[in-house]
Amino acid sequence: MQLNMSSNASGSSNHGSIEVFTSQTPRRTRSNVWEHFEPNLVKVEGELKAICKYCGIHLSTKSGTSSLRGHTANACPAIPTPIRQKFQATLSKQPSSELPFVFDPQLCCKEMIKYIIHAEIPFLKFEDPYLQPWLRTFQPTFKVRGRQSIRDDCLKKYVEMKRELQAELRSLDSRVCLTSDIWTSSQDLGYMVVTAHYIDAEFKIKKKIIWFKELEYPHSGYAIEEELLRCLTDWEIREKIFTLTLDNASNNTTACELLVTDCKHDLMFGGEHLHVRCCGHILNILVQDGMKIIHSSIKMIRELLKHIDSSPSRLQAFNSIANGKGVASKAGVYLDVPTRWNSTYKMIREASEYKAVLNAYASKYLEVCPSEEEWMKAEAICEFLKAFEDLTLAVSADRKPTAHMFLPLVLCIHHALKVDPALQSTDLLKELASSMCCKFEKYWEPDEANPRSKDHNPLRKNKEIAFNLALVIATLLDPRKKKLYLDFFFKKVCKNVEQIGTHVEFSLVWMRKYFTLYKQHNTRTSCTDTSTSQSMSSSNIMGSPALGKRKIDAEFAQYKSEVMISQSQKSEIDVYLEEEPENNIEDFDVLSWWRSKAAKFPVLSTIARDFLAIPLSTVSSESAFSLGGRILGHHRSSLARKCLRPLSAGKIGYIRPKILNSVMMVKVLSKSKSVASLKT
């Protein structure tokens, strides 16, 4: 039946001619949304539309019932609230999805807690009077809980995540490398952070915060070691620890020595290579030794930038000159921060790009301006510091292995301080390199004049080599380098040619010692797995009539198998070292390579997982540039202690934890006793 209507229904003006259609045949089962629309459709300008019973608006039915559901759940101003909530809870996740989405308040709370921990949202934010009205626009049935309930949920989540990670670490068939650092709150309270680094069975590198707890002053080596022991005991990983990376401070050295004494039987080779000094921290120390020379050389340029930045009118004048020279204007000039040496590099780099503009500004508004010699010094310093910034960024990476980059890092610094022809170009660079060389030789130069070198034991002849030998072995485990790179490295850095072979052989001896240890562990595991089947076989032999011959044949077959396996495993390390190194491509993935070679090198691939997991730095790249310590943000500092630890260590559940806070300190911590010990 068709009816012509002379006027539009309420809520749909300017539609022109409307025709009403009713069906004379039974319709198939309809969606329950039709209960809230008129039974008859209307044809408006050639398109069939449904009429809302509550507000009278016309809605297109061309796309099925999606628009009708959306109107009923969100748009209709006159629909009763119970009906609206019913449709809000069953809206599809996507318009094209056929599976209905049912709102789950508990799941919503769980996901919210994950977000709170990861994004470090203050609990007080959830009592903001504008939060609940905003969330009602998404889901009116969801009610935000109070901050006390949120806190309790976060504590429960921490316990849950900790149990999951404990289970993962217990089942881990590789070792764990640790980093530890001291953070300071705004109340000058010290907190120890311990992070676990390991490579799982899929050759994926993992980084998890496992400890965050207040460390009372003084931060002595005994206090640090005691807290580390609590952490290892709590997580039941004493026998899994491989290395511990710490800042280069005397209290950290003492802590490592004490830890080796207390955990000697749990550590490989009695903890011979447990202590790894943070490369990011040592790089910072090297550069800071030369910063006094740098600051005095760029004083005029810095004062010029300060003059421009001191008022909007001066910045406007600077931009006018820049526009006149066809250079982009700036919202402000970049000034360095005294405690962050990379900010000085960035300031010089940016100033060099605007050299012509700065000179023109100084000539017009100031009595003096930087000379050409000063600009040349600044550009030389900029190039010099760039190398150290690149190295700092490389060693501070946390999403990929860094241990195998150690020897190339040392070689780059050796070249920059002792070999680079640019050092001969200016007296400034000579003086700068000379001031940094002392610290470089102290930390990273191979020791060739050690009194212990006269020891008859070849394993102790170079025991006091200036860096952790585990990092040298990690370089050997880079398939692009192997032994060939060790020969190349020591030829570059050793003054005494006779010592080159000694250093290389010393490194290879230790690699073979580790190989033997890992091979024995693999053999014991294999024997445990096969012991049951062997005992069953023996019982069958003992019960057989031809006891003597069969028993001897079986024993010989077992002996032959053991010898063949032993010979194969012994040759595994030689096969690897004798193979030609891989091409040195820039995006080479060392973990993917070892994963693909695990069947060919079963023992070495296990070793690689442990050695390549060693982190070269304890901190992110941002912190590595600074003299100041790591600082807790204001919101974290204001938390109760029982909440601060779970919320910070609660990040263990994320693959890439954003450690505590992105706010970095821009001043030296004068009150912190822990920071004073770092200035060595």
Each as own residue / partner, the long-range contacts of residues 232-237 (CB below 8 Å, 24 or more positions apart, any chain) are: 232/263, 235/166, 235/169, 235/196, 235/210, 235/211, 236/166, 236/169, 236/170, 237/169, 237/176, 237/196
List the single range of 45-54, 150-159, 421-430 with lowest mean pLDDT.
421-430
> 635-671 pLDDT, tens per residue?
444 454 555 555 555 444 433 333 333 222 222 222 2
List the single range of 126-135, 278-287, 451-460 with lowest mean pLDDT.
451-460
Q: Is the pLDDT of residue 1 over 50?
A: no
Q: Is the pLDDT of residue 482 over 80?
A: yes
Residue with more model confidence, 450 or 371 = 371
What SS3 state is found at 68? helix
| Mean pLDDT value across residues 587-613 | 95
Cα–Cα distance between 101 and 92 in angstroms, integer?
5
What DSSP string describes 175-211? Answer: -EEEEEEEEE-TTS-EEEEEEEEEE-TTS-EEEEEEE
Report if pTM > 0.75. no
What percent of the chain has a predicted confidence (pLDDT) above 70? 75
Q: Is the pLDDT of residue 333 over 70?
A: yes
Angle value at C-alpha 488, between 482 and 493, nearest 5 degrees = 125
What SS3 state is found at 495? coil
Q: What integer pLDDT is reported at residue 147 of this predicted model?
A: 82
Residue with more model confidence, 451 or 588 = 588
What SS3 state is found at 51? strand
| DSSP assignment letter at 477 | T
Nearest alpha-carbon partner for 150 in 678, 578, 643: 643
Nearest alpha-carbon partner for 277 in 446, 406, 418: 406
Q: What integer pLDDT is reported at residue 466 of this predicted model?
A: 60
Residue with more model confidence, 639 or 590 = 590
> 512-570 pLDDT, tens per residue?
999 999 988 776 555 544 444 444 344 343 344 445 667 777 777 777 766 666 655 55
Nearest alpha-carbon partner for 244 in 225, 226, 220: 225
Ranges of beta strands (E only) in 38-133 are 41-44, 47-51, 58-60
What SS3 state is found at 174? coil
Angle value at C-alpha 293, between 288 and 298, nearest 5 degrees = 110
Contact in structure between 265 and 234 (CB atoms under 8 Å):
no
Q: What integer pLDDT is reported at residue 613 of this predicted model?
A: 96
| Mean pLDDT value across residues 596-600 | 94
Nearest alpha-carbon partner for 623 in 586, 574, 678, 671: 678
Q: Is the pLDDT of residue 370 over 50?
A: yes
| Mean pLDDT value across residues 123-145 | 83
What SS3 state is found at 145? coil
> 386-423 pLDDT, tens per residue?
888 888 888 888 788 999 999 999 999 988 888 888 77
> 211-258 pLDDT, tens per residue?
888 888 888 999 999 999 999 999 999 999 999 999 888 899 999 999
Q: Is the pLDDT of residue 66 over 90?
A: no
Cα–Cα distance between 524 and 501 in angstroms, integer?
35
Burial of residue 582, with CB atoms counted within 10 A of its CB: 0-12 exposed, 13-18 middle, 19 or more buried: middle
Residue with more model confidence, 341 or 205 = 205
* Domains in the chain: boundaries: 2-88, 155-278+618-676, 281-444, 451-530+556-611
